[in-house]
Amino acid sequence: MLRIMLALLILSRIPHESDGQFEQWCIADEQTLDDELQAALDWACGKGGADCSKIQLNQPCFFPNTLRDHASYAFNNYYQKFKHRGGSCSFRGAAMITELDPSHDSCHYECLP
């Protein structure tokens, strides 16, 4: 019984996996210049097809009201929707993959298998 409990404890400490892959989110790269970030955000929310409704005023991901936070939400939304259809987390170098959930307060970043 002790061995089973120890095994369960060890397994509970391993990062979450989805279908054999670690959960991943797409966020804005901290080193990206604001004008490049803005262009990537505009594309993601426009032609890219990301759902950017949650980063609008009075929505759960509006705060913090920064370009970098809004871009991160939009990049992740795009990436989660299209990663299995050829979409990437690149945005011309403005984004990067993280295994740390960027969700905060009432703002939930999706992570789809």
Residue range of the domain that includes 80:
17-98
**pLDDT score for 13:** 44
Cβ neighbours, 10 Å, residue 42: 14
How many distinct structural domains can be found in the chain?
A: 1
At residue 54, what are phi and psi to the nearest 5 degrees? -80, -5
CB-CB contact of 50 with 91 (8 Å): no
Helical axes 34-45 vs 67-82, angle rounded to 10°: 40
Euclidean distance between CA atoms 95 and 45, whole angstroms? 14
**pLDDT score for 58:** 98
Domain-embedded: residue 9: no
CB-CB contact of 63 with 97 (8 Å): no
Domain-embedded: residue 41: yes
**pLDDT score for 79:** 98
Domain-embedded: residue 89: yes
**pLDDT score for 4:** 52
Domain-embedded: residue 48: yes
pLDDT in tens, the chain (113 residues): 655 544 444 444 444 444 556 899 999 999 999 999 999 999 999 999 999 999 999 999 999 999 999 999 999 999 999 999 999 999 999 999 999 999 999 999 999 99
